[in-house]
Amino acid sequence: MAKMTLEELRKLRDQKQGEMQKRDIEGKDSRIVIGMGTCGIAAGAKPVLDAFLAALEEKHIDNVSVTQTGCMGLCYVEPTIEVIVPGMPDVIYGKVDAATARKIVEQHIIGKQLVTDHMFDRPAADIIKKDGGK
């Protein structure tokens, strides 16, 4: 994109905000967000990312985007990931390895059930969302 003016920046913000709220990024309504800070990567986030991509391909699921983010702060349960599926609560899973990744795809993405024993709590409310991220 070329250099923006003030108006163009504002327009872009509105548009991207809308996309993030509708969670409709490039036609995909669900998201898997993987914590890829140095901490997450050291704990094995890269093989987990590969496992998610492989499992989604294997099951022919194409409405889920896989993206990365920074550290969520839960060092003791890295690698951590977030799963966002319409109609279900946003969930953070910790201590995720390749096997758990496959389980999350089968059980959470396809079966619409939460995966036991791996759920953790986002440590704080979101100050950017107007409702505190509730």
Partner 1 sequence: MAFRNYILVCGGTACESSRADQIYQNLLEECKAQGVADEVQVVKTGCFGFCEQGPIVKILPEDSFYVKVKPEDAKELISEHVIKGREVTRLLYDKESSRKHAKVEDIKFYQKQFRIVLRNCGFIDPENIDEYIAREGYQALEKALFEMTSEDIIEELKTAGLRGRGGAGFPTWMKWNFSRQVANDTKYVVCNADEGDPGAYMDRSTLEGDPHSVLEAMTICGKTIGAHRGFIYIRAEYPLAIHRLEIAMKQAREYGLLGENILGSGFDFDIEIRLGAGAFVCGEETALLQSLEGKRGMPQPRPPFPAVKGLWGKPTVINNVETWANIPVIITKGGNWFNKIGTADSKGTKVFALTGKIRNSGLVEVPMGTTLREIIYDIGGGIAHDKKFKAVQTGGPSGGVITDESLDTPIDFGSLIRIGSMMGSGGMIVMDEDDCIVDVAKFYLNFSVDESCGKCAPCRIGGRSLCNILEKITVGNGTLQDLDTLESIGEAMKKGSLCALGQTTPNPVLSSIKHFKEEYLAHIVDKSCPSGTCKKLITYSINAEKCIGCTACARKCPVAAISGERKQVHIIDQSICIKCGVCMETCKFGAVEIH
Binding site for partner 1 (CB under 8 A): 1-6, 9-10, 12-13, 16-17, 19-20, 33, 35, 37-39, 41, 67-77, 80, 82, 85, 87-89, 94-95, 112-134
User: Between residues 55 and 85, which has the closer beta carbon with respect to partner 1?
Assistant: 85
Question: Shortest gap between Cβ of 24 and partner 1 (angstroms)?
Answer: 13
Query: What is residue 116's DSSP assignment?
Result: T
Q: In this complex, which beta carbon is closest to partner 1, that of residue 58 or of residue 90?
A: 90
CB of 4 to partner 1, least distance (A): 5
47 token code pair: 């093989």
Smallest gap from residue 95 Cβ to partner 1 (A)? 7
Residue closer to partner 1, measured from CB, 20 or 99? 20
Distances (CA, A) of 111 to 15, 82, 107, 133: 32, 17, 5, 25
Cβ proximity to partner 1, 64 vs 74, nearer residue: 74
Nearest Cα to Cα of residue 110 among 70, 59, 41, 51: 59
Report the alpha-carbon distance of residue 24 to residue 30 in Å, rounded.
8
Q: How far is the CB of 51 from partner 1 (least distance, A)?
A: 19
Query: 25-35 burial, b for 16+ CB within 10 Å, e for fewer?
Result: eeeeebbbbbb
